[in-house]
C-alpha cells in the first residue's frame, strides 16, 4: 500500500524517514537483496489480463494447469506483484495466480466498486487461469483488504472453494472498525517529475518501517505508471484509483462476524504478531464466530505487511497450513 492509497491506517504517525520515505537514501538505485529473492524473481510469471464485467484484470500465473489451484489476493492500493517473490515457492506443486483488483495495479478502473464485485473478479480470474482444473477446488490466500473480500467470498460463494487463508485481517468488534476514509474527492493524485522522485515518496500504509528494503523497492517499482504533468512533461504517479473509496458501494460491510458464521468453506488466519490491525481484542472477537480448530497463527517480529517483514516465515506458515489443511471432512460450516 502506498502513501496515498486511502487505506484505513490505525492511529499512528511518525516523522521518522525510515517510515515516511524509506527508499529516499537509495536515490533510485535498488537495495542489495539476498540470493533467495533473485531466485524467486527468476521464476517469472506469465502476465495477462482477464476481462471481468467490463474491466481488464491484471493476472500473474505460475505452475502448470491441472495442479491444485492457489489464488493470491492483495491489499488495498497494492497489486499482484506483492506476491511475485512469494508465489514461486509454491509453483512446483500448485497452479498459482496473483491478481490486481480493479482500480489497482495495471487493472482497469471502474465507475463504481463493491466488495461482492471484487469477489466475482476473484472467481472469474480463478476460472480463466485454470485454478479450477486441478483435482480439488482452489484455495484463496488473501492479505488485508483482500482478506476482507475473501471472508465475504467464503460466506457468499465458499462452496466453490476448498478453503480461505486470511493474512492479517480479522473482523473486529464494532467499536474498533474502520469508519471510512476522509473525503478526498477534490484532491488530485500526485504526479512526480521523475521515477526516482516517486520512489522516494513511497511508503507503507498503515505506517510502518521495514528492514527488508529490497522488498519495499520491488513493490514500489510496480506501483508506478507514467503520467503527463500539467505542463505536458512526462511524470510518474501511483497506479491505483485515488477515488476508489469514494466510488465504493458500502451496502455490504467489509468487517462482519455474520460472514464468519455463514462461511461455506474452512478458514485459517495468519497475522503479524505486532500488527496494529489485528489486535488481541479482534482475535478474541473472531474466535467467537469461527469453527473450533480453525488454524490461527501469529508470525513473530512482523507487523501488518508480514510478507515484507518476514517473507520466508510467511512462506513457511503458509506451507505448514497447506500441508495439513483444509480438513478432508465436509467443508460446510453453516
10-42: per-residue pLDDT in tens? 444 568 999 999 999 999 999 999 999 999 999
Does any domain span residue 5?
no
- The CATH number of residue 239's host domain is 3.40.50.1820
CB neighbour class for 251 (10 Å; exposed up to 12, middle 13-18, buried from 19): exposed
Neighbours of 22 (CB within 10 A): 24
Does any domain span residue 11?
no
Does any domain span residue 6?
no
Q: Supply the angle between the helices 145-157 and 115-128 in degrees, to the nearest 10.
A: 80
Does any domain span residue 333?
no
State the residue for C-alpha cell 520466508: 312
Mean pLDDT of 131-137: 96
Calculate the dihedral angle through the C-alpha atoms of 115, 142, 156, 245, rounding to the nearest 10 degrees.
-10
Does any domain span residue 294?
yes
Does any domain span residue 137?
yes
Mean pLDDT of 249-273: 94
pTM of the model: 0.93
Does any domain span residue 329?
no
Could you tell me the three cell numbers for 180? 471510512
Number of domains in the chain: 1
Q: Is the pLDDT of residue 9 over 50?
A: no
Provide the residue range defining the domain that includes 145: 17-177+186-324
| pLDDT in the model for residue 178 | 77
Does any domain span residue 9?
no
Amino acid at each position: 500500500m502506498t502513501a496515498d492509497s486511502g487505506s484505513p491506517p490505525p492511529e499512528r504517525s511518525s516523522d521518522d524517514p525510515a517510515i515516511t520515505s524509506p527508499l529516499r537514501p537509495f536515490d533510485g538505485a535498488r537495495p542489495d537483496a539476498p540470493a533467495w529473492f533473485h531466485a524467486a524473481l527468476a521464476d517469472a510469471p506469465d502476465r495477462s489480463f482477464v476481462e471481468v464485467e467490463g474491466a481488464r484484470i491484471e493476472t500473474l500465473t505460475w505452475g502448470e494447469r491441472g495442479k491444485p489451484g492457489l489464488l493470491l489476493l492483495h491489499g488495498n492500493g497494492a497489486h499482484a506483484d506483492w506476491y511475485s517473490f512469494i508465489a514461486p515457492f509454491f509453483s512446483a506443486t500448485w497452479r498459482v495466480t496473483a491478481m490486481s483488483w480493479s482500480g489497482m495495479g495495471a487493472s482497469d478502473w471502474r465507475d463504481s466498486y463493491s466488495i461482492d464485485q471484487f469477489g466475482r473478479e476473484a472467481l472469474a480470474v480463478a476460472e480463466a487461469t485454470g485454478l479450477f482444473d486441478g483435482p480439488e477446488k482452489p484455495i484463496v490466500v488473501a492479505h488485508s483488504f483482500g482478506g476482507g473480500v475473501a471472508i465475504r467470498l467464503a460466506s457468499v460463494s465458499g462452496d466453490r472453494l476448498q478453503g480461505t487463508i486470511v493474512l492479517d485481517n480479522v473482523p473486529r468488534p464494532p467499536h474498533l472498525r474502520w469508519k471510512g476514509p476522509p473525503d478526498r474527492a477534490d484532491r488530485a493524485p500526485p504526479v512526480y517529475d521523475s521515477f526516482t522522485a516517486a520512489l522516494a515518496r513511497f511508503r507503507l500504509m498503515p505506517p510502518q518501517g521495514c528492514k527488508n528494503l529490497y522488498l519495499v523497492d520491488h513493490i514500489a517499482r510496480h506501483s508506478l505508471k507514467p503520467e503527463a504533468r500539467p505542463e505536458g512533461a512526462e511524470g510518474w504517479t501511483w497506479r491505483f484509483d485515488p477515488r476508489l473509496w469514494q466510488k465504493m458501494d458500502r451496502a455490504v460491510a467489509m468487517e462482519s462476524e455474520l460472514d464468519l458464521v455463514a462461511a461455506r468453506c474452512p478458514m485459517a488466519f495468519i497475522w503479524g504478531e505486532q500488527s496494529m490491525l489485528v489486535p488481541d481484542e479482534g482475535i478474541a472477537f473472531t474466535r467467537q464466530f469461527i469453527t473450533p480448530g480453525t488454524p490461527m497463527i501469529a508470525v513473530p517480529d512482523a507487523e501488518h505487511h508480514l510478507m515484507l517483514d518476514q517473507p520466508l516465515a510467511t512462506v513457511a506458515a503458509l506451507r505448514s497450513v497447506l500441508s495439513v489443511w483444509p480438513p478432508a471432512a465436509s467443508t460446510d460450516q453453516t
